[in-house]
Amino acid sequence: MELKPLAILNGRIIDPQGGESRGGVLIHDRHIAAIGDVTPGDAEVIDAKGALIAPGIVDAGSFAIDLKAFTAGGITRAALMPDQSPPLDDAALVQRAAAAGKPDVWIHPIAAATRDLAGEELAEIGLMKAAGACAVATGRHSIADAAVMHRLLSYAGALDMAVIVHAEDRALTKGAVATAGETATRLGLPSAPAIAEAIAIARDLMLAEDTGARIHFHQVTTATGFDLIRAARKRGVRVTCGITPAHLLLSDTAIGLFRTFARLTPPLREERDRLAAIEAVRDGTVDILCSAHDPQGPEAKRLPYVDAEPGMAGAETLLTLALTLVRDGVIGLPRLFELLSTNPARLLGLPGGTLAVGAEADLILVDPDTPWKIDADRMAAKAGNTPFDGLPVQGKVLRTIKGGRALG
């Protein structure tokens, strides 16, 4: 079915590669036909009225298919982590997941590294790549066996697939629900030292260096972890890393009196690590901002803190929380969309993440100044488990456009 041409006029164009400019975008046959001073002709016209026109967000690692939340948050492509029921460890499961969101938000499955995500036997990664997997991941946990991890990196490297890793030493974090420190001690919570992250990163960096594979740490949240990544890059290791807004904006004090919405994995860190994460965004160590979208219903969160499931609904708040980095002068708008769109698309080998003539017309209109309040009970997500419940924020997605068609 042929779509009518669409012209978006009078906007602030945010191109991660080209910077910021004024003008519009003309869309024809699901692709960008012109940028800048465009002539709409017979196209349908949207007056942006000064709003941002930016690439649609490519979310590098959601734990759930949640189309309403994706659309509300400006996400036009979502990479789906393999932690599903059953895990994405089979080509048929990957193929089915890839079809789940079309034609609205495209879902790009990430293959499970091991069968049943048990960390023991490699899954059929090559077959899953042929079925549409965009990367391979260890899931919510690291692979404890170094020999298995070495084989994974060698095999994925031969297939030129990025390996997405959860970086925590499982022997140290077993049974822990918080980062060791003043907050965990005061609340009497089982905790693990923050170095559990660094130990896992150090091992996997050495294995990646030995194999030459591409490795991506889904979330890095500690000063020591960032230092290890900086040093590895200087040695030529092909490493990237991501982080969520929660770990940039909250420290472990957000747990308060056992607020289960603040139980995340990795857990919230002490303030010095949060500040180190901000600096890692500023200096370019962090490559990707992701949602780690993991909606958990009341039956999973209205429990004692130790028994509650970790995770937060992050898709529809990803952009508005990330805009805090721009208002605080940490980064500019083009860099923000490089973190949200360009770099995730590059990591996963996907279209999108750019505003260029000929590119697919996946873009969003954003008012960066609209004030609103995050309300867990009114979120579009399947569940509203967010540690930012009740927070006044600025910045809202006005339109999400996928392949030249407005969603929502």
- What is the percent of the chain with per-residue pLDDT over 90, rounded to a whole number? 92
Three-state secondary structure string covering 139-196: CCCCCCCHHHHHHHHHHHHHCCCCEEECCCCHHHHCCCCEECCHHHHHHCCCEECCHH
As a whole number, the mean pLDDT across the chain is 95
The CATH number of whichever domain residue 278 belongs to comes to 3.20.20.140
The pLDDT of residue 104 is 81
Model confidence, pTM? 0.96
The pLDDT of residue 352 is 86
Q: Is residue 33 part of a domain?
A: no
Q: How far apart are CA 65 and CA 78, in angstroms?
A: 8
Length of the chain: 408
- Tens digits of residue pLDDT in 313-366: 999 999 999 999 999 999 999 999 999 999 999 999 999 899 999 999 999 999
Q: How far apart are CA 381 and CA 182, in angstroms?
A: 33
Residue 408: which pLDDT band, with cuts at 50, 70 and 90? Answer: low
Closest by alpha carbon to 322, among 361, 383, 364, 351? 364
Q: Is residue 401 part of a domain?
A: no
The pLDDT of residue 66 is 94
Query: Given a cut of 70, is residue 56 above it in pLDDT?
Result: yes
Q: Is residue 389 part of a domain?
A: no
- Tens digits of residue pLDDT in 235-270: 999 999 999 999 999 999 999 989 999 999 999 999
Q: Is residue 332 part of a domain?
A: yes
Q: Which long-range contacts (CB under 8 A, 24 or more apart) does 96-101 make?
A: 97/65, 98/131, 98/132, 100/65, 101/65, 101/67, 101/70
Q: Which residues contact 257 (CB under 8 A, 6 or more apart)?
A: none
The pLDDT of residue 376 is 93
Query: Given a cut of 70, is residue 129 above it in pLDDT?
Result: yes
Q: Is residue 136 part of a domain?
A: yes
The pLDDT of residue 1 is 56
Q: How far apart are CA 290 and CA 319, in angstroms?
A: 9
Enclosing H/E stretch for 364 = strand 363-373
User: To 10 degrees, what angle do helices 223-234 and 195-211 make?
Assistant: 20
**Chain CA centroid to CA 32, Å:** 25
Closest by alpha carbon to 123, among 99, 159, 98? 159
Domain extent, residue 301, equals 57-353
Q: Which residues contact 395 (CB under 8 A, 6 or more apart)?
A: 319, 320, 323, 366, 367, 368, 369, 370
Q: Is residue 220 part of a domain?
A: yes
Q: Is residue 9 part of a domain?
A: no
- What is the percent of the chain with per-residue pLDDT over 70, rounded to a whole number? 99
Residue 100: which pLDDT band, with cuts at 50, 70 and 90? Answer: confident
Q: Are strands 19-28 and 31-36 parallel, antiparallel or unpaired?
A: antiparallel
Contact of 384 with 37, CB cutoff 8 Å = no
Q: How many domains does the chain have?
A: 1
Q: Is residue 362 part of a domain?
A: no
